[in-house]
Amino acid sequence: MQKELQIRVLPEVAGEPQLLEETLIQKEGLAAEDLRHIEILRSSIDARAKQAYYNLKVRLYINEGYEPEKISLPNYPNVSNAEEVIVIGAGPAGLFAALELMENGLKPVIIERGKNAKDRIQDLKGINVKHIVNEDSNYCFGEGGAGTYSDGKLYTRSKKRGDVQKVLELLVGFGAVKQILVDSHPHIGTNKLPKIIANMRKCILQNGGEIHFNTRVTDLITDSSSIKGVVAQDGTKFHAKNVILATGHSARDIFELLYRKGIEIELKPLAIGVRVEHPQSLIDTIQYSCESRGDYLPPAAYSIVKQVGDRGVYSFCMCPGGVIAPCATAPGEIVTNGWSSSRRARSTANSGIVVELKPEDFKPFEKYGPLAAMEFQRSIEQKAWVEGGKTQTAPAQRLRDFIKGDVSADLPNTSYAPGITSVELGSVLPDFIHKNLKEGFLKFDQSMRGYLTNDAVVHAPETRTSSPVKIPRDHETLQHVQISGLYPCGEGAGYAGGIVSAAMDGMKCAKRIRVSTK
């Protein structure tokens, strides 16, 4: 017989199978030999009170053997001779779209400006060590998109459980640990993602799909109302009647191309701020109300939102035990974001802290029309580059100094490999963002006592929180409102915010193509 139940246990009980078994035997009044297996279905930490607990949903196998569920990939048909669909961009949206197309008997032809996941590493070294930004291969561009060398947190606010489950199961099928199906806040880690992405590529190629790396799309072939194909940088033309445009939030040349061609796009407000790094031990102490977190709790995360006047100030993409990464996609700009390894073993915790922006904030850039938010974003990144010393060195300030407006006399080491330089960040950030951040940090400290410390370092800027542009599509068909056969998809088009939601949007667009062509 199987029995499911919910229990709340101390971290050491959750972390020691023997203790968990004893606890369950006692709680359920079972004979030890009758309990054959405990399957953990869901695991989450509740650290709201002084003592942290694990909430576990478990399935007990009582006098019944346990057969682990096999997570296998769909049986993809060979699509070498099937109708071709062009997918621009091999990020989560593009890759999951490609897989879904194959599942539905269509042939994905992926066109990706960057290199394969392995070859990207040289270019990441180039940014971190030599301060050289390759415009086609960096933390945002290349196989797997911004998802490959990302943190790999797989949280989403989406309520579509079936679709979320499909994304997670595919990731497991391609090599992610099964634990992501259990954790309430699943995480893969930068060290594991490239292999998973490479496995996806192998599967796409083995089943007849095509992938063209080092191929930047520079033009779309259209007539007045429909797409016909795309043109690559070297002039090569690819033809198809359906094109999924999944180029991510940093493909500024694509936004500019659409605007130039008169293909409708809309300004999309986003959030901008800084990335702050604390000692992980401090965040553990605050979040777990303890001196040190011990062996049974993971490095603590935080997620915080405060209202400052009429704007939200909130944490974004928090990386416990993580590293701040240089995520610029062009020379002459500084962009920060964060990642962590699967073990989250670093001694530092970083998070974007960003201010919600509104359409009126982009007024000074209105001559750029729907690209105004993108130009606003770019102007901050360029200012940071100038103030940082015209390399990938990021302008930075200790947190208390940031609040007081003092230039920091010295800066501690941070995880940001290209280095940091002491700058009063009021010279980088627009006034209203600077002010709102200061007030936000003060409010954070009221909820997380000890957060406001000069041991924390503020790095500027955090600008790529979501797309500055929305590419409008028909609600039903998901095709561009003006150009049929063109499917704006994923984060860059304004329909996703993270790995899982981008992957889900990719699958959603691919599904519609099946409906429209058969």
Ligand X SMILES: Cc1cc2nc3c(=O)[nH]c(=O)nc-3n(C[C@H](O)[C@H](O)[C@H](O)COP(=O)(O)OP(=O)(O)OC[C@H]3O[C@@H](n4cnc5c(N)ncnc54)[C@H](O)[C@@H]3O)c2cc1C
Q: Taking the complex as a whole, how short is the minimal distance between the CB of residue 339 and ligand X, in angstroms?
A: 5
Closest to ligand X by CB, 7 vs 231, is 231
Closest to ligand X by CB, 47 vs 502, is 502
Return the residue of 86, 276, 300, 327 that touches ligand X, per CB under 6 A: 327
Can you tell me which residue has the tokens 């089943």? 207
Closest to ligand X by CB, 156 vs 436, is 156
DSSP helix/strand/coil, 52: coil
Q: Quick one: which segment of 71-79, 92-100, 165-173, 364-372 binds ligand X (CB under 6 A)?
A: 92-100
| By CB under 6 A, residue 210 contacts ligand X | no
Per-residue DSSP letter, 459? E
Q: Taking the complex as a whole, how short is the minimal distance between the CB of residue 55 and ligand X, in angstroms?
A: 23
Q: Is 303:317 a contact under the CB 8 Å cutoff?
A: no
Tell me which amino acid residue 371 is.
L
What residues numbered 94-153 form the site for ligand X, per CB under 6 A? 94, 111-114, 139-142, 145-147, 150-153
| By CB under 6 A, residue 394 contacts ligand X | no
Closest CA to 145 of 460, 489, 393: 489
Closest to ligand X by CB, 123 vs 401, is 123
Closest to ligand X by CB, 52 vs 86, is 86
Can you tell me which residue has the tokens 């007539």? 223
Q: Quick one: which segment of 21-29, 34-42, 278-286, 337-345 binds ligand X (CB under 6 A)?
A: 337-345
| By CB under 6 A, residue 229 contacts ligand X | no
Query: How many residues at the interface with ligand X, by CB under 6 A?
Result: 43
Q: Is 197:99 a contact under the CB 8 Å cutoff?
A: no
Residue 209 token pair: 């799909």
Burial (Cβ within 10 Å: 0-12, 13-18, ≥19) of residue 478: buried
Closest CA to 429 of 309, 334, 493, 347: 334
Q: Is 342:187 a contact under the CB 8 Å cutoff?
A: yes
| By CB under 6 A, residue 247 contacts ligand X | yes
- Enumerate the H helices of 327-398 as residue ranges: 372-388
What residues numbered 443-482 form the site for ligand X, per CB under 6 A? none
The rounded distance, in Å, linking the Cα atoms of 490 and 477 is: 15
The rounded distance, in Å, linking the Cα atoms of 466 and 492 is: 8
| By CB under 6 A, residue 183 contacts ligand X | no
Q: Phi and psi dihedrals of 19, rounded to 5?
A: -65, -40
Closest to ligand X by CB, 90 vs 127, is 90
Q: Quick one: which segment of 23-31, 82-90, 99-107, 428-436 binds ligand X (CB under 6 A)?
A: 82-90
The rounded distance, in Å, linking the Cα atoms of 319 and 340 is: 6
| By CB under 6 A, residue 89 contacts ligand X | yes
Determine how many CB atoms are found less than 10 A away from the CB of residue 343.
11
The rounded distance, in Å, linking the Cα atoms of 423 and 421 is: 6
| By CB under 6 A, residue 490 contacts ligand X | yes
Return the residue of 58, 101, 217, 483 that touches ligand X, per CB under 6 A: 217
Q: Taking the complex as a whole, how short is the minimal distance between the CB of residue 82 and ligand X, in angstroms?
A: 22
Q: Taking the complex as a whole, how short is the minimal distance between the CB of residue 265 and ligand X, in angstroms?
A: 15
What residues numbered 152-171 form the site for ligand X, per CB under 6 A? 152-153
Binding mask 302-321 for ligand X (x = CB under 6 A): ---------------x----
Closest CA to 143 of 180, 195, 76, 77: 195
| By CB under 6 A, residue 326 contacts ligand X | no
| By CB under 6 A, residue 370 contacts ligand X | no
Cis peptide before 461 (omega within 30 of 0): yes
| By CB under 6 A, residue 248 contacts ligand X | yes
What residues numbered 6-25 form the site for ligand X, per CB under 6 A? none
CA distances from 379 to 123, 212, 364, 382 (A): 24, 32, 11, 5
∠ Cα 492 496 497 (to 5°): 95
Q: Taking the complex as a whole, how short is the minimal distance between the CB of residue 89 and ligand X, in angstroms?
A: 3
| By CB under 6 A, residue 91 contacts ligand X | yes
Closest to ligand X by CB, 370 vs 490, is 490
Closest CA to 108 of 89, 142, 84: 84
DSSP helix/strand/coil, 190: coil
Segments of 223-286 assigned E as strands: 227-232, 237-239, 243-245, 266-267, 271-279
Closest to ligand X by CB, 11 vs 497, is 497
| By CB under 6 A, residue 251 contacts ligand X | yes
| By CB under 6 A, residue 189 contacts ligand X | no
Closest to ligand X by CB, 89 vs 440, is 89
- Interface contacts to ligand X, rule CB under 6 A: 88-94, 111-114, 139-142, 145-147, 150-153, 216-217, 246-248, 251, 253-254, 317, 325, 327, 337-339, 490-492, 496, 498-499, 502
